[in-house]
Amino acid sequence: MKKFLTLLAVFLLMITTKANAMTFEEAFAQTSSKPMLVLIYADWADQYLTYIQAFNATQSEFGNSYNYVTLNVASPEMKAFNAKYHIYPNLPYVLMFRDGGKVSRYIPKNCILDQSCIVPKLKSFIL
């Protein structure tokens, strides 16, 4: 039963993520009016679903302030993105963009799971 519930939770998370998902290009085009948070992950990274859940949990507080994007950099179509943004192997992490990409910040993975770390960073970036 526990295994079934875990699989169900993963399935629901994937559906929710895809339903609310915006492509990087769509979100980046809107960064002049609304900052963007991009979770960079790979499906081979340790506990990547835990990071996706924590990232999505911030949407309840910051959903009106940010465009949210999740990117699986392990997919073949992400090769150009990885090269352009110098994606590091220490996945997952969050990139923050605003003002048409002129301002950006990096949030390391240890901060994503820690509300006392990520919330102040998100608040300060939208000011």
Domains assigned to the chain: 2-125 (3.40.30.10)
Q: Cα–Cα distance between 82 and 51 in angstroms, integer?
A: 19
Percent of the chain exceeding pLDDT 70 equals: 76
pLDDT for residue 26 is more than 90: no
CA distance 28 to 31: 5
**Residue 91 — very low, low, confident or very high, per pLDDT cuts 50/70/90?**
confident
pLDDT, average across residues 69-80? 83
Three-class SS state of 72: strand
The mean predicted confidence, pLDDT, of the chain is 78
Residue 34 DSSP one-character state: S
- Whether this prediction's pTM lies above 0.75 is answered by no
